[in-house]
Structure 1
Amino acid sequence: MDASFDDPFGLGAPRQRFSEEETIERMLETGERMVADAGLRISFDLLRLEDVITEAGVSRSAVYKRWPRKEQYYADLLLRLAGTSHPVSGAYDTGTPKAVIAAAEDHIDMFASSEGRRRVFIEMCRRGAEQNFVALRERRDWQIYMTIHAAYLTLPDGGYKQTLETALRASEDGFRDHMETFYRLMLLLLGYRIRPGVLDEDLKQFVILGAAAVEGAVLTSGVNDELTDRRFLMDPFGVGRVQDWSHAAFLYTSLAVAVAEPDPDQEWTKERVAAVPGLIAAAKSQLLEDS
């Protein structure tokens, strides 16, 4: 037979058959990718199930057998997104530790005195918070994650809401572990600690509050240009230098100053001061490797 008759009606190659497990994975993976490209609203109105089926290249009958109603598919996809989309790379993007480490590197000469270390501490907070604010505003995965949180709040109490909460908590645990490592290294570098009696001296609580400070500024900045664009030339913490401050940087640094203090058990000998460049290099290596 002439090769031109292999596909006489121009229907293309027959659709590949997938197992039930493969169909489920392709649908969820495709939905996740499409959400990352187009964004997510609580109603999923940017995502049509038929479009996902076409993009995934799977059988409609197999999809509707697994998810008789589109809402069932969206529920599973929401769980998938909740488990993978927390912005460890956004809230803990590589730019943030780089900005913080750069602040320490730029002021190595200040580590010799307690006042100098306080100034470095404040500058590290200022630069880190500003970088983190910018990173979160630009990251689609973080925006998706905040939408999932909003969707969670609208759900009726029940098994699905509890399952979604479990997925969100598991995802956030990874984020908090990264941030705890980050804070621990920075406090060690500066010879600081969490103030006794504050937050039960718990770094995890500091992580939660710090994230809330910056994330809250990002969420409200979308409808308030004051939070996005306005800068203040000031010296709010008395470091003897007027600098450019954003709302997010001021808010986060105020929290950090209230929570942390020099550790009286840390003795700053000449040897300790001389070791600062090595400590910075070691912290930089570990933070960027963990990122």
Structure 2
Amino acid sequence: MTRAPASGGSPNRPRRHGEDPVADRMLDAALTRIEAQGMTVSLADVGMEAVIAEAGVSRATAYRRWPSREAFLADVLVETVRRTSLIPETEQDLVRLLEVVDDHRADLGGEQGRRDLVVEALRVSVDLDVRRIVASPRWRTFVSLAATYQGLPEGAVREAVGSALAEAEEAFVARRAGIYANLVGLIGYRLAPPLQGDDGFRALSGATGAMMTGVVLRALPRPAWLDERHTTRLLGASREAAWSEPERLLVGLLLSHLEPDPDLAWDDATIEGLLTRLEGQVAELLSRPSRPAAPR
């Protein structure tokens, strides 16, 4: 693959945000336009001239940085991918999870009560997670690019976007695996064989990420699908709940690879210890200064 000179804004050069203030203003303006208007894979709405005007930079400066529209669009798409990250829970989401824990607290002395809590907490968490992604303009663009970037013309732009998507997916898998490893300990579960250790959590993370992408792609043109529910008992729970298909698929996948930790002695001290750790982590998240608002 041929590399263009760095001064030409090569799509293959690992330019990072903060290196070039003028380029950053252009890319910020382009991404703002994408988030406000959406984007098709043809990129017809990301006109370089319009972005130059919105960024308040001179045409000469912009075209020195990007001699061609192809180079500019490559950097826009790569920057879009790089700025996409896992979306943390909102304050409302965390409060909802605490309500689930409190609702099940009295029954945690029995195995069935603990199963009911795990199933319901995962069901609620999955629903909130899917809704955050579907409501995020940047994530909608990311998922669309992941599904359709090969429709871009062959060449450096498509190669650069493909590489950025692969790097982002690897980062998401690693981040999600760490979240799962922490969560499993908090709820008194462990990986079920044959999965084990860090590799097991990465495998589970990769599988749920792939399923999540499929769920989001289906929900984007039909968001009402998330509200189509059937009241039933699933996955070993004794309580009925109103399950959506995404919840059933994703929670079923997670619980098919998790099991109660047989080494835990479920006495009052163990239960209170787990609840204290869980509530402490939620309280820590709530105290952080930049919690996102609920998706509109």
* Same fold, judged at TM 0.5 (above): yes
Length, aligned pairs only = 269
Task: Give the structure with the higher percent helix.
Answer: 1
The yes-or-no answer on 1:93 pairing with 2:127 is no
Q: Report the secondary structure of 1:236's partner residue.
A: coil
Larger-Rg structure: 1
Aligned to 1:131: 128
Aligned to 1:52: 51
Give the deviation of 1:174 after TM superposition: 4.4
TM-score after normalising by structure 2: 0.79
Pairs within 5 Å for 1:65-104:
65-86=64-85, 88-89=86-87, 92-94=88-90, 98-104=95-101
* Structure 1 stretches lacking a partner, 5+ long: 1-19
Any conservation in 2 of the 1:185–1:283 contact (CA below 8 Å)?
no
Which amino acid is 1:276 matched to?
L
Q: Report the secondary structure of 1:74's partner residue.
A: helix
Hey, what's the Cα distance between the residues in 2 that align with 1:270 and 1:93? 29
Hey, what's the Cα distance between the residues in 1 that align with 2:282 and 2:82? 28
Within the candidate set 220, 223, 227, 1:222 is matched to 220
Aligned to 2:115: 118
Aligned to 2:204: 206
Q: Report the secondary structure of 1:275's partner residue.
A: helix
Aligned to 1:40: 39
Cα distance change, pair 181–99 in 1 and its aligned pair in 2 (3 A): farther
Which amino acid is 1:83 matched to?
R
Hey, what's the Cα distance between the residues in 2 that align with 1:99 and 1:209? 26
The yes-or-no answer on 1:62 pairing with 2:61 is yes
Hey, what's the Cα distance between the residues in 1 that align with 2:54 and 2:167? 29
Cα distance change, pair 279–253 in 1 and its aligned pair in 2 (3 A): same
Any conservation in 1 of the 2:112–2:238 contact (CA below 8 Å)?
no
The yes-or-no answer on 1:192 pairing with 2:189 is yes
TM-score after normalising by structure 1: 0.80
Give the deviation of 1:251 after TM superposition: 0.8
Hey, what's the Cα distance between the residues in 2 that align with 1:281 and 1:225? 32
Aligned to 1:145: 142
Which amino acid is 1:227 matched to?
W
**Segment drifting more, 220-229 vs 134-143:** 220-229
Give the deviation of 1:32 after TM superposition: 1.7
- Give % identity: 25
Give the deviation of 1:223 after TM superposition: 4.1
**Segment drifting more, 121-130 vs 107-116:** 107-116
Cα distance change, pair 54–225 in 1 and its aligned pair in 2 (3 A): closer
Deviations 1:69-116 (A, max 9, x none): 222211111111111123x12xx4335555444422331222212221
Cα distance change, pair 265–165 in 1 and its aligned pair in 2 (3 A): farther
Which amino acid is 1:126 matched to?
R
Q: Report the secondary structure of 1:202's partner residue.
A: helix
